[in-house]
Amino acid sequence: MKKQTAPSTSGRPEADSSAPLLEVENLQVEFRTRDGVAKAVNGVTFTLEAGRTRAILGESGSGKSVTAQAIMGILDSPPGYVTGGAVRHRGVDMLKLNREQRRLMRGSTVAMIFQDALSALNPVFTVGFQLGEMFRVHRGMSRKDARTKAIELLDLVRIPGAAQRVDDYPHQFSGGMRQRVMIAMALALDPEILIADEPTTALDVTVQAQIMKLLAELQQERSMGLLLITHDMGVVADVADDISVMYAGRVVEQAPVSEIYDAPAHPYTKSLLESIPRVDLRGQELSVIKGLPPTLTAMPPGCSFAPRCYMAREKCGQEAPPAFDVAADRISRCHYWDEVHPA
């Protein structure tokens, strides 16, 4: 059967509709600083299909947001540099496209919701102007038509009185409403891939639930692939299909969400799960992961988690574990994964 292909844009290679929506392979990103070279992302590999949600989970500094920035092509360079790997959309390696080709893909192919809506939005322009800019620049619309589209987007993300609020400034919206504006901006050009970087940061629990429900509904309506960057295990359990657990720039465990929650196969993942507050353990001391993540400019030999691991042995401090195949579509970077995850 002949493969269906999408028309090329600005000389961009044609996409293959039979290829994965997003395929990240051995992605490597480093930051060159006065203190040395920090390998912020070191061999990250995963795929994302249309209509599915992959969560990238880990502590601050694990490389989650840098991975997202590299996929979007918005990494600050210098000091950040993509030094290896591939980021393919339908078989087309976006890392090999020129600057103009990447610019055309942002918003229309892959879009991003940033974690701090107040700083991401320009305080001196109305939200309607900022939403309309997407259509004026990328679609060549008039100001009037772009304003109409902005109102439609505000209505799409359930902002009451969209026609009246389109001329308000960011500071006139609550935190939850600003995050809805950011979602509207990301959806403006109907992207195939949506990256949500800590979309519920600094929001109360009720608003968090509303935002995540809205994202899930919009994803299903549009059959988008959603890449969710978070450290919140509770959010992940409710919305994700697959999980990539990151530590010190590497994916240390990767699996469907139900398998990870039922039986983790890496000590780090297990420790994260045990640190979640539980109602049935009320009054007991909360479990914590002792120590701190390693300094990326001075990584320890062997397994990067070994200095904090409750089951570390001599081998762990000497040999970096490869990606062991635990099961179909499941890996673990632990020499003793079978003891963490007994058959």
> At 171, which CATH number?
3.40.50.300
User: Can you give the pTM of this predicted structure?
Assistant: 0.89
Asked if residue 200 is part of any domain, the answer here is: yes
The pLDDT value recorded for residue 282 is: 76
**What residues make up the domain containing 230?**
50-65+98-240
pLDDT at 277 over 80: no
Mean pLDDT of 119-134: 93
3-state secondary structure of 253: strand
Residue 319, domain member (yes or no): no
pLDDT tier at 343, thresholds 50, 70, 90 = low
103 in a structural domain: yes
- Tell me, what's the pLDDT at 269? 95
pLDDT in the model for residue 234: 79
Of the pLDDT bands very low, low, confident and very high (cuts 50, 70, 90), residue 135 is very high
In a domain, 222, yes or no: yes
pLDDT for 203? 77
DSSP secondary-structure letter at 96? Answer: G
Is 179 among the domain residues?
A: yes
Please give the pLDDT value at position 340: 87
Weakest-pLDDT range from 104-108, 148-152, 302-306: 104-108
Of 331, 195, 325, 324, nearest to 256 by C-alpha is 331
pLDDT for 110 equals 95
Instruction: Give residue for tokens 């959010």.
Output: 235
**pLDDT of 251-267, one tens digit each?**
999 999 999 999 999 99
Tokens of 43: 């061999």
Distances (CA, A) of 261 to 53, 131, 253: 16, 39, 12
Nearest to 56 by CA among 229, 237, 247, 182: 229
Report if residue 312 sits inside a domain: no
Confidence of residue 5 (pLDDT cuts 50, 70, 90): very low
Which one has a higher pLDDT value, 210 or 30? 30
pLDDT, position 13 = 67
Phi, psi of 7 (to 5 degrees): -60, 145
Q: Per-residue pLDDT averaged across 222-247, rounded?
A: 91
Q: What's the chain's average pLDDT?
A: 90
Total domains present in the chain: 1
Is residue 297 included in any domain, yes or no? no
DSSP 14: P
Return the pLDDT at 2. 37
Residue 244 has which token pair? 């990539």
DSSP 18-36: TS-SEEEEEEEEEEEETTE
Percent of the chain with pLDDT over 70: 96
In a domain, 173, yes or no: yes
